[in-house]
Amino acid sequence: MKHPEFPLTDDLIYLNHAAVAPWPKRTSDAVIAFAAQNSRFGSHFYLDWLKKETELRRQFQTLLNAASADDIALVKNTSEALSFVASGLPWQAGDNIVSSNQEFPSNRLPWQSLADQGVEFREADLSSTDTPEDALFALVDGQTRLLTISSIQFASGLRMDLPRIGEFCKQRGILFCVDAIQSLGAVQFDVQACRADFVMADGHKWLLGPEGLGVFYSTAEARERLKLTQYGWHMMKDIHNYENVPWEIHPGARRFECGSPNMLGIHALSASLSLLLETGMATVEACVIERNDYLKAAIAAHPQLILLSDRQSPLKSGIVVFKHQRHDSQALYRHLQQNGVVCALRGGGIRFSPHFYNTFTELDQAVEWAAAVR
Ligand SMILES: Cc1ncc(COP(=O)(O)O)c(C=O)c1O
């Protein structure tokens, strides 16, 4: 039976939450209500909007298990937050950054841009060892200042053991940065358990929100190390200091928000997060992994299909990648799109990324469509 929050059209099977998700009904309602209020009252209810902004920070605090809502900045996207860290740290020639060779460009380009300062970006081959964390550790030396990794790799679905990496980094005084876009909203996340210094994610994937609004978590100590790279009224401690008088930087993560907030996005994303938090992230994660296991088993058992994702790792994600025995993945992708199976071409095959609400019937149908390509 369809989930009441996802009244998607009957001719679609939506398995693309690792790319851009559909909005829950309550999110679409929140956007309509915000638009209606704007057209009738303008910003007359701005104080209520500010309450919604505070609520969203608290929702992120809960989702991340952050010590304080002050550790949460609302940013444009993951790439912006990664750039804040890369451009903000005081680098010296000879420093290096350790990462992997599976990163999305957003977790590669900001670090590679430091090459002109003599900073080296080292990419571990995560498939070179049984435990991918060890491939990262092997590249660390006395000049390593930061380790940056996607909590779940976008193309393979490989999920990293974050507490283990965090512990390793803490023992060596290395900063730990996590691109959590493929985790937040799909699986449980705990910034304190993984001892992360910086964590970032966007709202439009597993968090079921709109594009253009993401989260940037930093600890109080870590953010003090960042030189600010954007300036504006909203980052001041006294946000209403409009006159030309001395000002102080906001002590919290709001220092990374230079100007007016994305209020429309805030109303939408807060509604989306309310669904995830009401459902409970333990339940969401269990459902995501159950669907992932189910899909992997169905694909592995199908004579026409080849499962590319790993089935052995105890750490599971929402991403399944596979290909066809005989047809190339481009043709398979076109066939799936034409038949209403919304998915992506990634990782050398087709990526399915079902969320907690997808039905098992949909999963069966999607596998049948994939096998039926001509
Ligand atoms: C792992 C990962 N990081 C970053 C991004 C891009 O994020 P944003 O558009 O929020 O900068 C993506 C998008 O697919 C991704 O999969």
Question: What DSSP string runs through 187-236?
Answer: B---TTTTT-SEEEEESSSTT---TT-EEEEE-HHHHHTSPP----GGGB
Q: Is 227 exposed, middle or buried (0-12, 13-18, 19+ CB in 10 A)?
A: exposed
- Of the two residues 277 and 311, the one the predictor is more confident about is 277
Question: In whole angstroms, what is the distance from residue 99 CA to residue 176 CA?
Answer: 10
Question: In whole angstroms, what is the distance from residue 350 CA to residue 332 CA?
Answer: 8
Whether residue 110 has pLDDT greater than 90: yes
Residues 6+ apart with CB under 8 A from 32: none
pLDDT at 130: 85
Residue 264 three-state SS: helix
Residue 346 three-state SS: strand
Whether residue 335 has pLDDT greater than 90: yes
pLDDT at 244: 82
- pLDDT over 70 percentage in the chain: 100
Question: In whole angstroms, what is the distance from residue 102 CA to residue 106 CA?
Answer: 11
Q: How confident is the model at residue 312 (pLDDT cuts 50, 70, 90)?
A: confident
Whether residue 231 has pLDDT greater than 90: yes
The per-residue pLDDT for range 194-219, each reduced to its tens digit, is 999 999 999 999 999 999 999 999 99
pLDDT at 301: 96
Q: Return the ligand 1 atom nearest residue 150 CA.
A: 1
The per-residue pLDDT for range 134-153, each reduced to its tens digit, is 999 999 999 999 999 999 99
Average pLDDT of span 257-261: 97
Q: Is 48 exposed, middle or buried (0-12, 13-18, 19+ CB in 10 A)?
A: exposed
Closest CA to 170 of 190, 140, 150: 140
Whether residue 309 has pLDDT greater than 90: yes
Domains of the chain: 13-23+281-371 (3.90.1150.10), 28-278 (3.40.640.10)
pLDDT at 1: 82
Q: Which amino acid is at 165?
A: I
Cα(374) to ligand 1 centroid in Å equals: 33
Q: Please indicate whether residue 148, judged by its CB atom, sits closer than 6 Å to ligand 1.
A: no
DSSP string, 272-333: HHHHHHHH-HHHHHHHHHHHHHHHHHHHHH-TTEEE-S-SS-SS--S-EEEEESSS-HHHHH
| Token couple for 248 | 């102080």
Residue with tokens 């009252």: 41
Q: Please indicate whether residue 155, judged by its CB atom, sits closer than 6 Å to ligand 1.
A: no
Whether residue 373 has pLDDT greater than 90: no
Whether residue 313 has pLDDT greater than 90: no
User: Are the CB atoms for 188 and 62 separated by under 8 Å?
Assistant: no
pLDDT at 369: 95
Q: Please indicate whether residue 104, judged by its CB atom, sits closer than 6 Å to ligand 1.
A: yes
Count of CB atoms within 10 A of residue 130's CB? 9
Q: Please indicate whether residue 79, judged by its CB atom, sits closer than 6 Å to ligand 1.
A: yes
Q: Return the ligand 1 atom nearest residue 106 CA.
A: 4
Give the distance from CA 18 to its chain's centroid.
Answer: 9
Residue with tokens 């709202």: 203
Residue 35 three-state SS: helix
Q: Please indicate whether residue 182, judged by its CB atom, sits closer than 6 Å to ligand 1.
A: yes
Residue 14 three-state SS: strand
- pLDDT, averaged across the chain: 97
Count of CB atoms within 10 A of residue 260's CB? 9
The per-residue pLDDT for range 77-91, each reduced to its tens digit, is 999 999 999 999 999
Sign of CA dihedral 133, 139, 142, 148: negative
Q: What are phi and psi of 310, to 5 degrees?
A: -75, 140
Average pLDDT of span 315-340: 96
Whether residue 2 has pLDDT greater than 90: no
Which residue, judged by its Cα, is nearest atom 12 of ligand 1?
A: 104
End-to-end, the C-alpha distance of the chain in Å comes to 30
Cα(206) to ligand 1 centroid in Å equals: 12
Q: How confident is the model at residue 287 (pLDDT cuts 50, 70, 90)?
A: very high
